[in-house]
Amino acid sequence: MESNYPPPPIDDGLYGQSGTGSTSENFKVVVRIRPPLPRELRGTGLRAYQCTTAVEPGERNVILSENLPAVVSAQGVTVADPGALYNTYRFTFDCVYDQHCPQERVYRQSAQQVVLSILQGYNAAIIAYGQTGTGKTFTMEGAMEGPDRGIIPRTVEDIFTFIVNDPDPSSKYLVRSSYLQIYNEVVSDLLKPERSSLAIREDRRRGVFVEGLSEWVVRSPAEVYQLMQRGQSLRATGATKLNEVSSRSHAVCVVIVEKCSNNGQGEDAEGAGRGGPDGASMQSIKVGKLNLVDLAGSERVHVTGAVGRRLEESKKINASLSALGNVIAALTDRRERVHIPYRDSKLTRLLEDSLGGNCRTTMIATIAPSLESFQESLSTLKFANRAKNIQNEAHVNEDVDQRTLLRKYERELRRLRDELARRSRNVVDKRALLVAEEQAKRAEADKLAALTALQERSREFLREKEEKRALELKIQAMQSQLLSGGTAAPGLGLAAVSGAALQEVPAVRTLVMREANKVKEHYEARIRALEQEVAHVEVERYKQLLLKQRDIMIALTARLNERDEKISYLQEELDAYDRYQRQLEDALDAKTTELITLRKAAVEHAAAGGPSRLRGGADFALQSALGDWAGGAGAPGQGPDTVSAGLTSTASGPTEAPAGGLYYSADGSAVELALDGQDGTPRGSTHLTSASSGGLTAPWRRSTHSAAGTGASFANGNGALSSIHSDARAGTPAEPSSLNNDQASASPGEVAELRAAAVTAAKERAALQQILDSKVRLMLSEIMQQVASGGLDSGAGSGAPSGGQQALLGRLAALEALVARVSGAIGGSAGGQGP
């Protein structure tokens, strides 16, 4: 196949040529002479091959002669008048192609322009006519590839090349094809074999057409080739004497091209489009139809030797060709109003437009060059010569039918594009659609909820309605009772009284009110019961809480009580100490008073000349007892010389005691009191220690000791003066005896001494009192601090005294010892009487 097919041709003058060619602008007749076949070249019998055809220069005239060399020189130049020779004919056609003319040239010069005219909206036809075996099929179809490609494949290639090269991009084309045959006067669809015996119709819109013939939209030459191959395989052929593959039918390949283009864009005035009702007002549609006709070959039966089926075929073929000749004869008859017998055969009927109608037609008459085909060639040339006078009037088929397929396609395309645009918008608006769907869902859900609520309300309404109905029934029943009792208003018919009217009756209203009150009371009672139930639950809960709180309070109270008891106990102890302190103070006061009295008695006794033993012993004992409390370490030695003479102090520890002295330890924990008589022998001793003092439950525990040799008087716990007569010899306490001043006698010196001693004793007493007060305050302060800090609680309940209590007991024992010692000292010096 040629790759670069030539572009649409320029008019080579075939059409419109005057002179000896066709008289019609639109009907051309050309002659093609095929080369001699090998069979012909071999000759027949004794006759060798003889060429009978020659084409004069200019390819317009063909010479057919049984004696061709006499007419034409070896160089092809006509040397004699063909008309003057026997059996020599000269015909002029629009073009004559000799046996050497290639397919391409035949097509380009005689077919291409006609074929491409369909792209401008013309009908066109290429009709191959000739004796059997003269090359009609070769010319029309030829090979599907290579230089032998015939008119049909080249036509297809040209059509699509033209479309592709159309400079107007707005132009649109639709190409479709059909393929039929007329075999034995029966029209069949070669592309749909099941479709046969098709009828040939004609109408104003479509012209002549085959009803039911399939049309195939093709978009490339290859698709057309496929159709052609399919159709050729179905075409009726057979071997004859003159042609191994003889076409036994007329074949028509139909190519229809619809072209849509904008008005005024390269179109001539004739092609100006008119608007259609479908909105394509600025577009024009042109429809061109091309019939590519490969006729069956005429044959002489006696020559072909056809018999039987072939004979019948030949008869049919010849008949139809005869009809074609008749049509052509009629068309070329110069008489007016000549009947054109198109309907005499299917062929002429089908080619009605192509023969004398709206068509640009080229008839290619094929002839064989051999002498044996001379008569057939002459017949063909005469036929063609006659046909060249056919007058066709071709015009553009533009918008003749709004129902053209392209229109339909355009409408369908527009519809599909609109659909696509709509769907595209849908895609673009998919988000909005989703939102809308979401809203719709929500609305549906709201609607459902509303319906559910409405349903619930309807149920409530029905319930209320039933209750109301029940009440009304009840009221009616009661009203009927009232009527029977004569309490209703006169003339009031119960049956005709509605519930509202009944309530207007006072008695009924009362009953209604009563019933309403009953209902109200019922529900109030129910509410109260529920409230009580709720309250009961609440009370139980609060009760449990209160019980828990109560247990906690009890535990706390018990703990507080326990603490209070301890505090009370300690308070009592403090009170006992206070009492004891007061007793001590009282005792001190009494002792002081007694001491003064004693000194006065001593002075008086001295003044009266009595013994002085008392003076020295009592003062000594008193000084010894008070010395430890009279002002610290140096107190005993700071006294008057007369007092300190008999007192020995050992600050560094126990030492050997001097005769008749009071010995004591420096810390005051142990005191040994040794009083001797005149011989210095110890008369008694007592040990006072804090550990031995015992408990303090008693306000005072009397110390049992003896101070032999003393006879002093002491005030007792009640403050009364008592006189103790010490028996130095026996060492036992003397019986108390009352002393009076009258019995005392002292010298003036002794009185002075006693007076001085009394002054000293008073000072010492004051010092002692001060020390005692500070000691007691200190201890009380410590006790109070311990009580305040709770230090005394740690051992509560254990039965054994705690550390704090131990300390307190120790302090108290020390205080007790101190008091006992002082008391003892005082008592010893004054007769051993304690508080």
Ligand X SMILES: Nc1ncnc2c1ncn2[C@@H]1O[C@H](COP(=O)(O)OP(=O)(O)OP(=O)(O)O)[C@@H](O)[C@H]1O
DSSP string, 250-264: EEEEEEEEEEEEETT
Rounded to the nearest whole angstrom, what is the least distance from the CB of residue 96 to ligand X in the complex? Answer: 13
- Tell whether residue 96 is a contact of ligand X (CB under 6 A): no
Pick one of 133, 369, 627, 639: the residue that binds ligand X (CB under 6 A).
133
- Tell whether residue 592 is a contact of ligand X (CB under 6 A): no
Asked if 488 and 482 count as a contact pair (C-beta separation under 8 A), the reply is yes
Pick one of 21, 153, 297, 369: the residue that binds ligand X (CB under 6 A).
297
Q: Which range, of 129-137, 184-192, 323-331, 412-420, touches ligand X by CB under 6 A? A: 129-137
Pick one of 88, 134, 703, 710: the residue that binds ligand X (CB under 6 A).
134
DSSP string, 322-388: HHHHHHHHHHT--STT----GGGSHHHHHTTTTTTSS-EEEEEEEE--BGGGHHHHHHHHHHHHHHT
DSSP letter assigned to residue 10? P
Q: Name the residue nearer to ligand X (CB basis): 313 or 594.
A: 313
- Tell whether residue 369 is a contact of ligand X (CB under 6 A): no
CA distance 21 to 58: 12
Pick one of 135, 288, 827, 835: the residue that binds ligand X (CB under 6 A).
135
Rounded to the nearest whole angstrom, what is the least distance from the CB of residue 296 to ligand X in the complex? Answer: 6
Pick one of 34, 60, 154, 765: the residue that binds ligand X (CB under 6 A).
34
- Tell whether residue 136 is a contact of ligand X (CB under 6 A): yes
Q: What is the dihedral of CA 759, 763, 765, 769, to 10 degrees?
A: 160
On whether 134 is known to bind a ligand per the annotation, the reply is yes
- Tell whether residue 716 is a contact of ligand X (CB under 6 A): no
Q: Which range, of 133-141, 169-177, 182-190, 599-607, touches ligand X by CB under 6 A? A: 133-141
On whether 136 is known to bind a ligand per the annotation, the reply is yes
CA distance 12 to 505: 122
Q: Name the residue nearer to ligand X (CB basis): 41 or 720.
A: 41
On whether 704 is known to bind a ligand per the annotation, the reply is no
Long-range CB pairs of 618-621 (<8 Å, 24+ gap) are 618/710, 618/712, 618/829, 618/830, 619/643, 619/757, 619/829, 620/646, 620/647, 620/660, 620/662, 620/829, 621/662, 621/675, 621/707, 621/710, 621/712, 621/825, 621/828, 621/829
Asked if 699 and 673 count as a contact pair (C-beta separation under 8 A), the reply is no
Q: Name the residue nearer to ligand X (CB basis): 33 or 570.
A: 33
Rounded to the nearest whole angstrom, what is the least distance from the CB of residue 34 to ligand X in the complex? Answer: 3
- Tell whether residue 238 is a contact of ligand X (CB under 6 A): no
Pick one of 89, 91, 107, 138: the residue that binds ligand X (CB under 6 A).
138
- Tell whether residue 35 is a contact of ligand X (CB under 6 A): yes
Q: Name the residue nearer to ligand X (CB basis): 254 or 296.
A: 296
CA distance 616 to 709: 12
Q: Which two tokens stand for residue 465?
A: 């309605």
> Checking phi first, is residue 13 left (phi over 0); if not, alpha (psi -120 to 50) or beta?
left
Q: Which of 97, 99, 105, 128 is nearest to 6 (CA)?
A: 105
Q: Name the residue nearer to ligand X (CB basis): 32 or 192.
A: 32
On whether 831 is known to bind a ligand per the annotation, the reply is no
On whether 465 is known to bind a ligand per the annotation, the reply is no
Is residue 130 within a helix (H) or strand (E), and if so which, with residue range?
Answer: strand 124-130
On whether 510 is known to bind a ligand per the annotation, the reply is no
Q: Name the residue nearer to ligand X (CB basis): 37 or 218.
A: 37
Rounded to the nearest whole angstrom, what is the least distance from the CB of residue 215 to ligand X in the complex? Answer: 26
Pick one of 247, 320, 479, 805: the residue that binds ligand X (CB under 6 A).
247
* Residues 6 or more apart whose Cβ sits within 8 Å of residue 186: 196, 197, 346
Rounded to the nearest whole angstrom, what is the least distance from the CB of residue 335 to ligand X in the complex? Answer: 33
Q: Helix crossing, 748-789 with 506-607: angle to 10°?
A: 160
- Tell whether residue 120 is a contact of ligand X (CB under 6 A): no
On whether 137 is known to bind a ligand per the annotation, the reply is yes
Pick one of 52, 243, 291, 397: the residue that binds ligand X (CB under 6 A).
243
CA distance 812 to 803: 14
Size of the site for ligand X (CB under 6 A): 18
- Tell whether residue 132 is a contact of ligand X (CB under 6 A): yes
Kindly report the backbone phi and psi dihedral angles of residue 735, in degrees, each rounded to the nearest multiple of 5, phi listed first: -70, 140
Binding site residues, ligand X, CB under 6 A? 34-35, 37, 130, 132-138, 243, 245-247, 296-297, 366
Mark the binding-site residues for ATP, compressed into ranges: 130-137
